[in-house]
Structure 1
Amino acid sequence: MAAGLVATSCAVTDDGGEDEARSPFTGEAVEPGPVLAVKLDNAPDARPHTGLASADIVYATQVEGGLSRLTAIYSGDLPAETGPVRSARESDLQLLRTFDDPAFAFSGARSAVLPLITQSPVEAVTPESAPGAFFRAEDRSAPHNLFLRPSEALDDAPGASDASDVGFRFGEAPEGGRETNEETVRFPSASFGFAWSAEDGAWRVSMDGSPADDTAAGQVTAATVVVQYVDVHDSQFPGTPFTETVGSGDATVLRDGRAHDARWTRNSTADGTRFTGDDGERLNFATGPVWVVLAPA
């Protein structure tokens, strides 16, 4: 695909012809399907994850006590299972509007947040609405043992939007940047590490100093890592932080063993997020899974 082109359900080549279908989330040649977002536990007792390596996009966000949780985005190719699944937060709704009306699987939420979820365009999928899509793993302890069957979750969300442009661009690597073998992003009580592996052609992910493993795929990797610096402030619910993903700010984009300074912009909840380089042009991601760490500015 030509540098800087958006990956859509039908990518356009330089000569004006049509190429094979490509994911707007990864740039890979795959037919995009309905979008499923899954809220994943990330406490040490919740690891290793299942299905995390299959996610197109993974968002890492701060929750209570400075800890972290993950939101895995799937479309097209689905894992048989994913989890452990945990509860939703108010700021998830702002983030997920970039995917139009996605299916959103989670285990519950505080009572005051549930009406906000009901009023939002997301297609909520819960153990109550889709009991057959969830199951408890016998080798895990509650609350870290709730898992999801993604295909059955989507059966409960027939109105989920198909994957579409969320602002990512894929193509040739931008010029410049600095060479780096490893980057660490810290939350108050959590950390994420990304080590470049020439062997994998990707960044090997670690969490809190240990490899981020998937029960089926081994260590999780990302083709592109975005460290997006955002405003994290108190939400309207005491003790719960709110991560602002509308606005603008600084970012660092990791790809191909290099770190590139960037700016991010998202004008409204209905918009995707644009990432631009020092020259003001859209900054291309490497083809493959994308991790976005929403780090406190």
Structure 2
Amino acid sequence: MGVNLRRARLAGAAAFATAGLLLSACAPTPAAAPPPTPRVTHSAEPTPSSTPTPVPVVQTAPLRGTVVEDAAALGPALSAKIDNHPDARPQWGLEHTDIVFEELVEGGITRYVAVWHSDVPDEIGPVRSIRPMDPDIIAPFGGIAAYSGGQERFVAMMQDTDVHNAIHGGADDRFMYRATSHTAPHNVVVEARELRAEYATIAPPPVQFLFAPRGHAPIFGAAAGGIDVRFSTVSARSWRWDAGSAAYLRSQDGRADLDAAGAQLRATNVVVLQVAIDWSYGIVPRTVMVDSGDAWVSTGGSVIRGRWSKQSQTSPIALTNAAGGEIRLAPGNTWVELVPTSGSISVTG
């Protein structure tokens, strides 16, 4: 550590003595001998570096509840409207999401609102157009929303939030391109890291769901092998608990749902919300998000029956059990299935 150096120099004084009687005006008095210079001693400890090695700062990822280094807990959330048409699969980046919402759109098929924050890949997509329920889903996260346009009234609704809108064909088009591996309109890709870096000063998202303490799975609920949901006659989804990987594996219409690398998509938590549908926009269904209803929360190989509620556009979704207590998720990624009341939900043994 620090080395204490003591340096002392004592100047020898040339003293001239005068006696009561002057013996000689030129007779000098001999100078006193100077004291010895002190020896400098050094500690056995090494001298510290002028630039100490920084200690990584760890925080909790607000959308996952997992421990991450500081950089992964900062910066804005990036939400995107992701295509789920068969021609859009496999999508780019879904395996890196913090939260994914699956919603009903025209023709009985589904699309996603996917949210990245703690693990943002180079590219995400394909992005598609905005829908009337998306502002209510995305607004609580703040940050950035990437999509390919949409009906003017729906775009205006999204732009009326405090979220930065990155629209294909707009000012942020330099961060988007069409991939050749998919056919249009299922091929608009977002350069996610570059887009997010452009708006790095936007605040990170607030916590959305409550999580169990790290290293502890939620302890309530009944053991269950998974959950099946149906959005319409043409959109059936299944999740199965895999104890080996401590995750739920996803299937669509009886087939494993794969990411771009060929691995089956998975989630630590699967939250199913039974929702009302507003048909006031003609053939475009609007999932009613500022509302409440029944909920099924699958986590850790168990399912918890409860209720969900959302008080306003900007408020997060609250999950409560039968006793009115808060339901906590296991730390990790979450998929939220917004299943219409006209659909079906079935817990498997």
- Once the two structures are superposed, what CA deviation does each residue of 1:197-241 show, in whole Å capped at 9, x if it has no partner? 111110001122221211136111100000011111214x22111
The reply to whether residue 60 of structure 1 matches residue 109 of structure 2 is no
User: CA separation in 2, counterparts of 1:105 and 1:89?
Assistant: 12
- Find the residue that maps to 2:58 and give its secondary structure: coil
Instruction: Within 5 Å, give how 1:193-232 maps onto structure 2.
Output: 193-216=238-261, 218-232=263-277
Task: Give the aligned partner of residue 9 of structure 1.
Answer: none
Matching of residue 96 in structure 1 with residue 134 in structure 2? no
Alpha-carbon separation, structure 1, partners of 2:241 and 2:209 = 24
Larger RCO of the pair (alpha carbons < 8 Å, separation 6+): 1
Once the two structures are superposed, residues 94-147 of structure 1 have per-residue CA deviations (whole angstroms, 9 ceiling, x without a partner) of: 111221x22000011112222222222221001222122111111211111111
Question: Compared with structure 1, are the counterparts of its residues 264 and 61 closer, same or farther at alpha carbon in structure 2 (3 Å cutoff)?
Answer: same
Amino acid at match of 1:227: V
Q: Given the alignment of the two structures, is residue 35 of structure 1 paired with residue 77 of structure 2, yes or no?
A: yes
- Residue 53 of structure 1 contacts residue 217 of structure 1 at CA under 8 Å; is this kept in 2? no
* Aligned residue type for 2:73: P
Q: Percent identity?
A: 31
The answer on 1:125 being equivalent to 2:170 is: no
Q: CA RMSD in A?
A: 1.7
SS at match of 1:242: strand
| 2:113 is aligned with 1:71 | yes
Across the two proteins, how many residue pairs are aligned to each other?
277
> Following TM superposition, by how much is the alpha carbon of 1:57 offset from its aligned partner in structure 2, in angstroms?
0.3
| 153-162 vs 67-76, which moves further | 153-162
Aligned residue number for residue 194 of structure 2: 152
Aligned-partner residue type, residue 181 of structure 1: G
Contact residue 129 and residue 156 of structure 1 kept, 8 A: no
Q: Deviations over 1:146-197 (max 9, x none)?
A: 1111112224545643121223333344444222223111011312210111
TM-score (norm 1): 0.88
TM-score, normalization by structure 2: 0.75
Give the C-alpha shift of residue 266 in structure 1: 1.5
Counterpart of 2:323 in structure 1: which amino acid?
Answer: D
Instruction: Give the whole-Å Cα distance in 1 for the aligned partners of 2:140 and 2:159.
Output: 17
Aligned mate of 1:187, from 222, 231, 235: 231
Aligned position for 1:254 = 298
Counterpart of 1:16?
none
The alpha-carbon deviation at position 49 of structure 1 amounts to: 1.2
Q: Which of 189-198 and 38-47 deviates more?
A: 189-198
Residue type matched to 1:87 in 2? S
The answer for the alignment partner of 1:295 in structure 2 is 339
| 1:279 positional shift | 2.3
